[in-house]
Amino acid sequence: MPTARIVKQLVVEAPNEVGTLGRICALIAKLEANILHMCGSTLSDEARFMLTVDRPDEVKAALLEEGYEVSEAEALEVELMNCPGTLEPVAAALAREAVDIIYHYATTNGAPTVKCIIATNDNRKARALIAALPE
């Protein structure tokens, strides 16, 4: 059965320059904080990183001190079995109830479960719908 919890995600905006990811990762490593999830993209001159970390308040403060634009966003961390078709019931349940998925990302290393980050227009409703899914 999928599980979902609401997590705090940091959204970091930075110039789209070679080395930006390395500088951000070095800063987080210096704090001895752990990156739990990360997704990055670029649009023209801007890079955007969405990440969850084990110490978000400290990481946010350090990134702000270095001059990065940082905001917080709420998202769901959804844990699913790592096998074909397990995301479909989640997506279908959200669609049936008109919960709009704004973005999502995930990766797996072949472990038995996978954790997805899903941001919606109503994360609390989405969490309840996921919790109500049958096993």
Can you give the residue ranges of every domain in the chain?
8-74, 75-131
Local confidence pLDDT in tens for the 135 residues of the chain: 799 999 999 999 999 999 999 999 999 999 999 999 999 999 889 999 999 999 999 999 999 999 999 999 999 999 999 999 999 999 999 999 999 999 999 988 889 999 999 999 999 999 999 999 987
Amino acid, single-letter form, for residue 65: E
Could you list the beta-strand ranges (E) of the chain: 3-15, 35-43, 46-53, 69-81, 101-106, 113-120
Fold (topology level) of 75-131: Alpha-Beta Plaits (3.30.70)
Residue range 8-74 forms a domain whose CATH class is alpha beta
Backbone φ, ψ for residue 36 (5° rounding) = -95, -40
Is 126 in contact with 76 (CB distance < 8 Å)?
yes
Report the alpha-carbon distance of residue 4 to residue 15 in Å, rounded: 33
CA dihedral 120, 126, 127, 133 (to 10 degrees): -140
Report the alpha-carbon distance of residue 60 to residue 91 in Å, rounded: 31
Q: Whole-model pTM?
A: 0.88
β-partners of residue 115 are: 79
